[in-house]
Chains A and B, each alone.
Chain A
Amino acid sequence: MSPIIVLEETIANKIAAGEVVERPASVVKELVENSLDAGADSIDIEIREGGKEYIRVVDNGRGIPSDEVPLAFERHATSKIRSADDLFRIVTLGFRGEALPSIAAVSELEMVTRPEESPMGTLIAFSGGRRTRLESVGAPAGTAVTVKRLFFNTPARYKFLNQAASERRYVYDIVGRLALANPEVRFRLVSDGEEIFVTPGDGNMEAVIWSIYGSRVGKYLVPVYRESGHVVISGYICRPEIHRGNRQAETFIVNGRVVESSLLASAMEKGYQTMLPRRRYPIGVLTLTLDPSKIDVNVHPTKREIRLSDSSEVYKQVLLAVKHALEISIPFDPWAFPGSDETSQDADQPGFVQETLEPPIVKERSAAAVSYATSRRETESPTVHRHSSAGLSPEVPPRRTLSDAVPSQCGAAGTSPARHWASHRIIGQFQATYILVEADRELLLIDQHVAHERILYEGFLAELQTSSVKTQPLLVPLHLELGPAAAARVIEWSRKLAELGFEVEQFGVKDCLVRSVPVGLTSIAVKDLEELLLGIIAAGETSDYRHNALVLMACKGAVKAGEELTPAAMQDLVDSLLSTKNPFTCPHGRPVIVRLALDDIHRRFGRR
């Protein structure tokens, strides 16, 4: 056995670097967080080759006095905490004192820094952890750190880096999140000479979202605000018309720190429940302000994961915040039909589709910014609503800003969005599938099946939630011929089915008798009932059976597409729909109402 020795400092630093510095993006993150901690209100980040060759972070922060500069590169040297007690009151972003020495250990690092009050700045440089320069130089106030040839002395790590394109994506992602967390700081990100985005740095988070995600997302933003007990939740989420194939666009900022939290992610997704298609994820930025003593951020060296001491309460509040925000929001891009292609629309109607609303701050988005947005879109399925930007009509309330979202709209949360239309009139039925409705200055196309699904779903849900499930016992029990395996499963599930209003009992080995059904499904056909019960069981074995069951029940009970409706039936359906909590999406996440604004129709006819 080898004798135990104390590691040389450079080796220890290389090991520590492995914890903090995984890839260029983590270098960028550490450096930007240092800049933020230094009170910078403008940070420029430039990378080349995805940061593998070159990273430069320039800020206008406080800078480091020349006598403290060498100290900054010693491990556990930090200006941010003094004792272990301070760990529980962390308000700065970096504190472990590992970042700079760790990065210096695995790259060629050069830092130029000058506090505003000093006449001269300091330049310090390292190569593979060994100091190569330390001298006084003339420099602008602030700190500029350049990191070149990352991992040049740890080839094993270098090998594990991905191609520049994907490293670049990690950098965009982290800078984007940091920019979202710090809307009061101007961020500028440049990659291989192209400007990816610039945020205004005026404290307006919505503007940051526009800058980063572009107008397509920006136009669908819904403000979120909720204050409860010791949690304040604010931010923006995107309406369910736009969604992603992964969780990349879910950003959570807890006490100013960008965190990853499966708890928060699932709370946000739960808030969208029934509005997003399966395995699609929302886009949103939520800022949570909590008592710092309620969170433990020192779980992981990169500080991306946090632990909450009051997780179930936070979960609930996030869920409610998202849910209420969506309930009072309204979609307004009438021509954005699912599956239609943005570029071809632009090409086909050059006079019609025009940018009527510019992103509020960003004047010109460079080609690189567009390509960034495009590369993100590539992950989206073709069912995503494409956004033609002409949809904004004056009748639609302007996008709300955070400030006016605060008290009044929280008060209104939970009331039906039907109040957005003063009156409505049924025009008729199209293809025995869609109901055409005139509502104020809009033409609504309502899918009768999904509309009815939404009504039934909320009805069933209300019964279940108030423990008043109404069940209709049958005069003639329905006989399901299921076969032994399926019959046994139905019987196993009989208690859960009973909660939903289905009373089933065994009838021989292969068959079941259904003795009662939920009142809303009275006179369901045997075939449909059989499908429904087996569907509930199949869906329930993987996840929350109640929700899935209600969705399936609503689907079976709803009028079908192709069924002709009398004017009275249409009126009934539309009235009930508009009184639901969310008339805009069906429980499967499909849209229920497509809205065409009068102004857009006028424009199509060249009237203005």
Chain B
Amino acid sequence: MRFATTQGEMLRCLDMVGRAVANRDVNPILTGIYLECENGRLTVRATDSEIGIEACTSVESDQPGKVVVEAKYFLPLVRRLPGGDVFVQELPEHQMLEIRAGTGSFRFQTMAADQFPALAAAEPKPLLRMPSQIAVRMIRQTVYAAQKDQGHSVFGGVLMEYADGELRFVATDTSRLCFNRAAVPNGENFKMILPARTCVELQRLLPSNPDSMLEIASLGSQVLFRLETEDVILVSRLLEGQYPDYTRVIPSQTDTEILASCSELISALERAELMGKKGPAIVTLSVEEGIMKLESRDVELGEANESLSIEQKGPSVTSAFQVRFLLDMLKTTDSDKVRMGLSSGLSPGMIRPVDDDDYIYVLMPVRVI
């Protein structure tokens, strides 16, 4: 294998796949980065068997071939190389990969490239094609509600569903739920549960470029995302199991609807959040005559009280919530104002951006017994 490219292009590819490198050497080959060159095309790949990422770029090449080098050292080297041309050459007789840049020349031991797994046996037909930007927003507005580090439970994932011409993302940790949707034409119906980490990694790869397009395809127990313009694919295992019926969870209406400034609410809640020395901070929201009072207290610490003026539709109402749950949603809202639906008793509350019916957040109040 022999090719020439630039340091910048090489680093771009490596940075994209770097996060998929296995950090524990369960299988030593997976701590490596796979490089393959064929027909002037360089493929860089890494996988930890949960997710795999592959990035491609055009290079000048006169010898095809493939090698695996240890990511932990190869990646930092490329990052530290001077900008400009980079020449890469395999030295099969030494089982080495040589990199030359500027006046420097570096050699790395290689591993057996045959043993490095492929990400997808065949190129599957896409189920849906959509602007990347939509996916960026939908992931940002759902993934936080998934349970953290919950292994294989469906609650540790994000439901991704396509039906009736719209793509829906849903996440819940059982106490609160995020629902997000976007109209995307011309897709085939599907329903998959993505591990939260997959969403985070995908979000990181997705560019903000408005022209960028994302394709979603199924590989049976895995999902494949392709970023066309960037020539990158991400393959991930899916979570198995029955996702709860989210439609039954979203209330059709609430007793009282209020309209509040998002930034005011966020700063008031951030102050209230401090009253959580022993356990998560809880805020009681009391809505009466256009005023929302926020109260939180901690037995050992003290209390916080403040009022916000809001627009109120419906009767007075009081509900208590975990502060963090409110903040999680408000901080992902792009609007200046939010609509908050509250009901008395133990009915769930609901928050939506003022001008957006596609983002719905449902959360259960806290009860003190």
Contacts and interface: CB of A to CB of B under 8 A. Distances in A.
Contacts of A460: 279
B172 A475 contact: yes
Given A470-B367, A516-B367, A476 B172 contact: yes
B348 A475 contact: yes
Binding site of B, secondary structure by majority: helix, strand, loop or mixed? Answer: loop
Interface string A438-474: 0000000000000000011011101100101111111
B249 interface: yes
A499 interface: yes
Interface in B141-158: 147-151, 153, 155-156
Nearest to A478: B174
A469, A473, A501, A526: most-surrounded residue (chain B CB, <10 A): A473
B366 to A, nearest CB: 6
Nearest to B281: A519
Given A459-B279, A522-B173, A468 B368 contact: yes
A579 B173 CA distance: 29
Nearest to A469: B369
A238 B242 CA distance: 54
B44 interface: no
**Which of the four size classes fits the interface of chain A?**
20 to 34
Contacts of B155: 476, 523, 525-526
Contacts of B362: 475
B280 A522 contact: yes
B369 A474 contact: no
A474 B249 CA distance: 10
Contact of B369 (A498, A563, A576, A579): A498
Contacts of A459: 278-279
A462 B299 CA distance: 8
**Which of the four size classes fits the interface of chain B?**
20 to 34
A456 B279 contact: yes
A472 B322 contact: yes
B369 A519 contact: no
A525 to B, nearest CB: 5
Nearest to A527: B153
A121 interface: no
Contacts of B192: none
Contact of A475 (B149, B299, B363, B368): B363
A309 to B, nearest CB: 36
B175 interface: yes
Contacts of B172: 475-476
A520 interface: yes
Contact of A563 (B149, B177, B363, B364): B149
Interface in A466-505: 466, 468-478, 498-499, 501
Contacts of B147: 523, 525
A440 B236 CA distance: 48
B147, B244, B280, B367: most-surrounded residue (chain A CB, <10 A): B367
A475 B279 contact: no
B369 A475 contact: no
B346 interface: yes
B226 interface: no
B365 interface: yes
B279 A470 contact: yes
Nearest to A559: B149
B211 interface: no
Contacts of B299: 462, 466, 468
A596 B173 CA distance: 41
A121 B209 CA distance: 112
A561 B365 CA distance: 31
Contacts of A478: 174
B279 A463 contact: yes
Contacts of B22: none
B278 A471 contact: no
Contacts of B271: none
A474 B149 contact: no
A478 B364 CA distance: 14
Contact of B279 (A466, A474, A476, A519): A519
16 contacts: A455-B278, A466-B299, A470-B279, A471-B367, A472-B175, A472-B364, A474-B175, A475-B177, A475-B362, A475-B363, A475-B364, A476-B174, A476-B249, A519-B280, A519-B366, A522-B175
Closest 10 CB pairs of A and B: A459-B278, A523-B173, A459-B279, A476-B174, A473-B364, A476-B244, A474-B174, A525-B150, A520-B279, A523-B147
